[in-house]
Amino acid sequence: MSEFAFELELCRTLESRRDDVIARQLGGSVANPGGRILDVVCIEPGPGFRARTAITPHAIPAAALEADVGTGQARYWKDCFDCHPDRARRAVDRALEIGFFEVERRNGREYVRQVARYPDWVDRIVAIENKPDLGRPGDLEAQLRLDASLGLVDVAILATESYVTRAHLNRLPPEIGVWRVHRTNDSTSKAATEIEVVREPTQLEPERPGIEPRSSHPGRTDVAVVDVEAKRRARRRLAERAYGKGWRTYEFPACANCAPGGDGATLPRCRWAGRVVDAGTECGIDCPGHEPADSPAVDLEAERDRETPWVADPAGRKRRQSGLDRFR
C-alpha cells in the first residue's frame, strides 16, 4: 500500500471516530520552517471552537493574529504590525478577504479592526507519522526524535501496517505512541479499518522550551533552542493551517477508471489499479490503465462541511460601520 493511500484511508477512519479538525502535510518545525512535515495533524477542539467556526472557514494569517488589532476602535493598519510592511500589507488584504478584519477609510487611510475576538479554540494537537512499511523507514527515527525533543505538539504517534517488534519500539523515542492499522479486503468502508494501540504516547511538553535539531554532521548535531513563546505562535499557525486546509487536498484523474466513492469520504479510487491513487504522480497517459475521460465532479468542500465540525459558510460577525451612512 502506498503511503499516500494509507494516509487518506487513515484520515477517513479518524474523521469517522473523532470530532477533531484533521489535516495532512503541514509544517511541524519552528527554527527551520519546512524542515519537518507532519503527515497527519488532529486538532482536538477546545471550548472556543464554536466561536472559531463562526468567523471564517479559511486559515487566518499568522501576521494578522500577531498584529495589535482588536475588536474595539479601528486603528491605522501600519501602526498595528511589527513586521516587514509587505508582509503586513499581505496579511491585511487576506484578513479582509476572508472576513477576519473589517476596514474603515478616513482621509485616504485604511483603519482596521477584527470582526470578532480570536478565541482559544485548541485543546490538544496530535501528530501522526505514517509509515505503512517499517521495512522502508527512511528518516523515520530522526523525524520522530525531532517531534519528541521539540515538543511542538501534545502527543506524537507512528501509524504503520507492519508487525511491530520489540526492536522497532527500542529504536523509537519512548515518548512516541505506536498504532498498527489493520485493513480488511473491504477498503471502501471506514469500518473496515481497525487501529491497534501497540504503545500509548507520552504527553510532550509544549509549555516548556524545546530542542530542534537543525543539521547533522559526523560527530555532532546542530540544534536550536525554541522558547515557549515561539512554540505558542507556531502551534497557533499549525492549528489555523489545519482548520483552513483539512485533509481533502487531493485531485481526481481525468480517467474513466477513477471511481470516486467510499463510506463518508470520496477518495480517488482506481478500478484498474484496485486502490486509491495519487492523481498528481501516478495517473496520466503513461499509465496502462488510462482511459481518457472528464475528471469526476466531486465537491470535497461540501463533503468536509457535511462530515466534520468545520463550517464552510459561517454566518459571520461583520458589523455595520457607524457613521452617517447608517442613517440613510
**pLDDT, tens digit (0-9, with 9 covering 90-100), for 125-162:** 999 999 999 988 878 999 999 999 999 999 999 999 99
Cα 138 off chain centre by: 22
d(Cα 80, Cα 69) in Å, to the nearest integer? 6
d(Cα 314, Cα 161) in Å, to the nearest integer? 39
Domain-located, residue 291: no
Q: Could you tell me if 58 and 240 are in contact, meaning their C-beta atoms sit under 8 angstroms apart?
A: no
The confidence score (pLDDT) of residue 74 equals: 94
The confidence score (pLDDT) of residue 324 equals: 34
**Rounded (5°) CA angle 154-159-160:** 165
Domain-located, residue 300: no
Domain-located, residue 264: no
Q: Could you tell me if 46 and 268 are in contact, meaning their C-beta atoms sit under 8 angstroms apart?
A: no
b vs e for 21-35, b when ≥16 Cβ sit within 10 Å of the residue's Cβ? bbbbebbbbbbeeee
Is the domain of 226 the same as that of 90?
no
The confidence score (pLDDT) of residue 183 equals: 80
Is the domain of 152 the same as that of 198?
yes
Domain-located, residue 324: no
Domain-located, residue 56: no
- Residue 234, SS3? helix
Domain that includes residue 94, residue range: 61-115
* Residue 25 CA: distances (Å) to CA of 34, 38, 199, 218, 251: 11, 5, 24, 30, 15
* Residue 177 CA: distances (Å) to CA of 12, 104, 155, 200: 20, 50, 8, 5
Is the domain of 173 the same as that of 232?
yes
The confidence score (pLDDT) of residue 261 equals: 64
Is the domain of 137 the same as that of 201?
yes
Q: What is the pLDDT of residues 297-309, one digit of tens each?
A: 899 999 999 999 9
Is the domain of 172 the same as that of 208?
yes
β-pairing, 155-160 vs 122-130, is: parallel
Domain-located, residue 92: yes
Nearest Cα neighbor of 246 from 8, 6, 2, 4 is: 8
Nearest Cα neighbor of 41 from 188, 168, 147, 113 is: 147
Is the domain of 163 the same as that of 90?
no
Is the domain of 180 the same as that of 42?
yes
Structural domains in the chain (count)? 2
b vs e for 55-73, b when ≥16 Cβ sit within 10 Å of the residue's Cβ? bbbbbbbbbbbbbebeeee
The confidence score (pLDDT) of residue 290 equals: 93
The confidence score (pLDDT) of residue 220 equals: 78
The confidence score (pLDDT) of residue 315 equals: 79
The confidence score (pLDDT) of residue 323 equals: 37
d(Cα 278, Cα 255) in Å, to the nearest integer? 13
Q: Could you tell me if 126 and 203 are in contact, meaning their C-beta atoms sit under 8 angstroms apart?
A: no
d(Cα 156, Cα 203) in Å, to the nearest integer? 8
Is the domain of 149 the same as that of 230?
yes
φ, ψ (nearest 5 deg) of residue 207: -90, 15
pTM above 0.85, yes or no: yes
For the chain, which ranges sit under pLDDT 70? Answer: 1, 185-192, 261-264, 316-328
Is the domain of 78 the same as that of 175?
no
CATH of residue 137: 3.40.1350
Strand segments, DSSP code E, in the chain are 21-27, 37-45, 75-76, 101-106, 109-114, 122-130, 155-160, 177-183, 193-199, 210-217, 220-226, 269-270, 275-276
Specify the residue for cell string 477498503. Answer: 187
